[in-house]
Structure formats: structure tokens, C-alpha cells
Amino acid sequence: MSAHSKKLGIVLAVTLLAACQANVGMHFPVTPAAQEADASLAAVDIVRVTPENIRAVSEVPDDTGSPSKATGLDPMSYAYRVGPGDVLSVTLWDDPARAGQPSGDGAGGLTVSDEGTIFYPFVGQLRVSGKTVTEIRNNLTSALSDYLQSPQVDVTIAAFNAHHATLVGAVRTPGRVPLSNIPLTLIDALNRTGLAEGADLSSVILRRGGRDYAIDVAEFIDSGSMRQNPVLRSGDVVIVETPDPGSVYTFGEIGVGEITLGARDMSLTSLIAQRGGLDKLRADARGVFVFRAQPGSERLSVYQFALEEPSMLVLAQAFSMRDGDVLFVTQDPIVRWNDTVSKVLSPVVTTIRAQAVVEAVNN
């Protein structure tokens, strides 16, 4: 399931819960007994956060629909292979007595045809597409040996037109970058195109052969890891993204609102502080909940924090908020859960499951 689909379900929860607040207030069964007795919570995983498990529950796995973080590519040898549109320069040293006076193909060179061939006197049509200059030189030497004794042939590429990589996204000059016999690394290509404001070097996508690789160029800059600076190949598409910091939402006895996440992780404690703290008169410190759609799951997870003890508020600094999280602070939990939030969770879970079915059919 995509991160967008999960966030859609959570945003729907925010909208519906805001409507509930305007009508009847919002409440949540905060005691274990009340939660276990409530059938409406069957589709929800409630995790009671304690000092013993707070660090474990703070770790969120990557979305399974995204390329693995910093997979990179193993360094591989590189050799340019001639293709249609390339211009070859062929020099034939046919007489040792005239050293330094080559006879060749003229100033224009030999352009590789769409069929991948060139025409050379006495040899005729010679297929060169997909071959290195060394292979072409050897083929020409072998073919000319029927007419010349020990022919000396030199082949170079006068113009590189056949192969390119494409850079898109947060770069100043998106488009094609030509490849030549000199290996072009990812960071060299980025230096050519330039980076747009806000470009995220830690999460560059390299699309090659129908597969996406997550490249952390920042890691190469920091540590020199060559896996994060691969040599580009013909047909590669490089996507430089602008990071979306995402948002978290608050409602209940802490106020209704949306807060944009910054470049650094925002803790639950920081979020509560930014919202001005819990309502001292109305909030139930036992009922601080974070709603989160977990990657790869159709269920909704709800993390329960009991912050009546100041020590738990300090420990809550270890709990990092994630894009799409919803912070909900309860009132006095006497009013029945079924009258408020349980009516919201049902369509939210249904939406998440329905979206998963649609994506499975599409795939």
C-alpha cells in the first residue's frame, strides 16, 4: 500500500473527528478493561506505550512500496559501445614508408546508420553497433587483411550521439546528458545539470532496466561510498526529489490543527509543546493517543500514552512523529466510545482496506 493511501485514510479521520468534536465532543476508553470490552476496537491495534517499549515502538519501517533506502549499485566496469548516430573516425596506415601520412575516411567521419552499420572501402557494410572501438578496430583489421599486408588501423569516436541518461526533478536543467567513452558518474551528471533549491541528495532515484534504486548521494559526499555514486549507463533515468516534510494533525483537548514536519524528527513532546500543552481543565492525561497507519498493514495502530507522570512526558521525546500521524487527546472518558470515535474508525479502516484492494487489482 502506498504512503499516499495511508495518509489519505488518516486525513479522512481528521476531517470526521473534527466534525464529531463540533457535535458531541471526543472521548476514548482509556483503561485496558474498557478497551478490551469494546468490540469497535477489533480492527485497531492499541499499543500502550511504556518506558520499556517506547524506543521500540518509535522505529517505523520503510514503506514496502518504495525503493529500499540507500541500496545503491555495486561499481561495475564501463566501456562505451557504439550506437546509431555516433560518428567514427577510421585511420588506415597503409604504407610504413609514408609514416605520419594516414589515409582515412576524411574530415566528415563515418556516421553509424540506424541499422548500426558503416560503409568502408573494400570491406563494405560493417556492423558496429553494440561494439567497442577495440572490437571495431579488430574487425576492420581482419577484413582488410585480404587486401593489405598487416594493415594498421586506428578507430576513434569523433562524435558521441547514441547514448544518454536523463535527469529530471529538482535539477536546474532537466533533460538528456550525453554519455561518452569517459565514464560519467551520477555526481558528475548532477554537477552538469545543477541542483534546484530544496533538492534531496539523500534520496535520489536511479531507474535502470525497469528497476528503481535508491541512491544516497549525500553518503558518497560524506564517506566516499562508490555504491552511492554509480556510473551512468544508456537509458538511465535519474529522479532528484524535493523532500516533502509531511504533516501531523492534532485534535481533541489540545486543539485542532495541522503542523508541518521539519527536516529533523519531531517528537511527541515537541508537538505537544508547539500546541501549547494539554488543556489543563478538560484533557485526560491518561488518554493521549497517536493514530498511525502502519506500512504493509490494513489495520490502524493507535499508540496510547499516559502522561499524568512528568517522567513519561520526558520519555515521549523518544517517540518520533511521522507524516500523517494524528494526535488525539481525550476528555473525561465517561461518554461512550461508540458515540464518537468508533464511528470514525470504521470508515477509516474501510477506506484503507478498499484502497489496498484497488492497488492489488491495478498491480
pLDDT digits (tens, 9 = 90+) for 108-128: 689 999 999 999 998 999 999
233 and 171 co-located in one domain: yes
d(CA 49, CA 143): 78
pLDDT band at 67 (very low <50, low <70, confident <90, very high): low
CATH number of the domain residue 270 falls in = 3.10.560.10
pLDDT of residue 18: 43
CB atoms within 10 A of CB 327: 24
Percent of the chain past pLDDT 90, that is, above it, reads 31
Whether 218 is in a domain gets the answer yes
Query: pLDDT band for position 177 (50/70/90)?
Result: very high
Top mean-pLDDT range of 24-28, 139-143, 321-325 = 139-143
CA distance 81 to 88: 12
Q: Is 319's pLDDT higher than 80?
A: yes
* Closest by Cα among 85, 82, 183 to 139: 82
Q: Which residue has the cell 502522561?
A: 307
Asked if residue 341 has pLDDT above 70, the reply is no
What pLDDT, on a 0 to 100 scale, did the predictor assign at position 123? 92
Domain span at residue 191 reads 164-240
More confidently predicted of 253 and 152: 152
Mean pLDDT of the chain, nearest integer: 77
The mean pLDDT value for 335-356 works out to: 47
* pLDDT for 25 beyond 70: no
Q: Is 80 exceeded by the pLDDT of residue 209?
A: yes
The band of 35, judged by pLDDT with boundaries at 50, 70 and 90, is low
315/208 same-domain check:
no
Residue 145 has pLDDT above 60, yes or no: yes
Structural contact between residues 338 and 40, judged by C-beta atoms closer than 8 angstroms:
yes
Instruction: Note whether 131 and 233 are same-domain residues.
Output: no
The pLDDT confidence band at residue 43, using thresholds 50, 70 and 90, is low
Q: Show which of 159, 193, 220 is a domain's final residue.
A: 159
pLDDT at 295 over 70: no
Show which of 240, 273, 303 is a domain's final residue: 240
Report the interhelical angle of 341-362 vs 3-23 (nearest 10°): 160
Pair (102, 12) in one structural domain = no
- Reply yes or no on whether the pLDDT at 38 is more than 50: yes
Residue among 200, 231, 234, 236 at smallest CA distance from 216: 200
Give the residue, 46 or 195, on which the prediction is more confident.
195
CA atoms within 13 A on the CB side of 234: 14
At 97-111, the pLDDT tens digits run: 544 445 555 556 899
pLDDT at 22 over 70: no
Q: For residues 33-60, give the mean pLDDT.
A: 71
Same domain, 111 and 203: no
Q: Which of 240, 266, 297 is the last residue before a domain boundary?
A: 240
Q: Give the pLDDT of residue 275.
A: 84
Which has more pLDDT, 191 or 104?
Answer: 191
pTM of the model: 0.57
Neighbours of 270 (CB within 10 A): 17
Q: What is the CATH number of the domain that holds 149?
A: 3.30.1950.10
Question: Which is more confidently placed, 236 or 26?
Answer: 236
Task: Write down the pLDDT at residue 112.
Answer: 96
Split into its structural domains, the chain has a count of 3
- Whether 193 and 266 share a structural domain: no
Q: What is the pLDDT at residue 315?
A: 82
* Residue 223 predicted with pLDDT over 80: yes
Q: Are residues 179 and 278 in the same domain?
A: no
